[in-house]
């Protein structure tokens, strides 16, 4: 498997996220002090401000709803030149109000989107041992 796309370079803070993604699991950093998920985890928790968030990564459902989106028509780097056009979606995950994450929507650029549309995480295997979290439209649940 080869890709011209840039590959993630995990550091100490992001390594658990990427290791989980390689297993096709979405795992997010949770602050040990306030117990809220923080995307992306930083030196301080963006919710409670502690300088010692002692993040622990927990697997989450990967379910959420579309809050916004855009179609990328011009590649931001040469690695994506062969991929345009594609959809980027801004997702609010079910686990926590306001927990937002941006990723590609793999259903294609012509997908009909609406605010509140249910999605679920999916993974793009772009290199050996490297998978990128993305999203797909969730199957309709009976109402």
Minimum gap (Å) between residue 133 Cβ and Zn ion:
22
Site track for Zn ion across 114-143, x = CB under 5 A: ------------------------------
Cα dihedral 67→135→111→89 (10° resolution) = 30
36: which 2 tokens?
């809220």
Residues 6 or more apart in contact with residue 102 via CB below 8 angstroms: 88, 89, 90, 91
Of 26-34, 65-73, 86-94, 115-123, which segment contacts Zn ion by CB under 5 A? 26-34
Residue in this structure with the two tokens 């994506």, named with its chain if needed: 80
Q: Does 44 bind Zn ion (CB under 5 A)?
A: no
90: which 2 tokens?
């801004």
Q: Does 34 bind Zn ion (CB under 5 A)?
A: yes
Q: Which residues sit at the interface with Zn ion, rule CB under 5 A? A: 31, 33-34, 45, 47-48
């Amino acid at each position: 498997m080869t890709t011209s796309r840039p590959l993630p370079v995990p550091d100490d803070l992001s390594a658990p996220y990427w290791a989980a993604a390689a297993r096709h699991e979405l795992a997010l950093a949770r602050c040990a002090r306030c117990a809220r998920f923080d995307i992306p985890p930083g030196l301080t928790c963006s919710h409670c401000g502690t300088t010692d968030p002692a993040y622990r990564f927990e697997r989450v459902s990967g379910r959420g709803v579309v809050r916004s989106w855009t179609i990328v028509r011009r590649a931001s780097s040469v690695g994506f030149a062969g991929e345009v056009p594609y959809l980027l979606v801004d997702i609010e995950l079910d686990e926590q109000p306001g927990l937002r994450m941006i990723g590609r929507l793999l259903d294609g650029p012509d997908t009909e989107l609406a605010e509140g549309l249910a999605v679920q995480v999916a993974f793009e295997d772009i290199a050996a041992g490297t998978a990128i979290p993305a999203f797909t439209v969730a199957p309709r649940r009976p109402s």
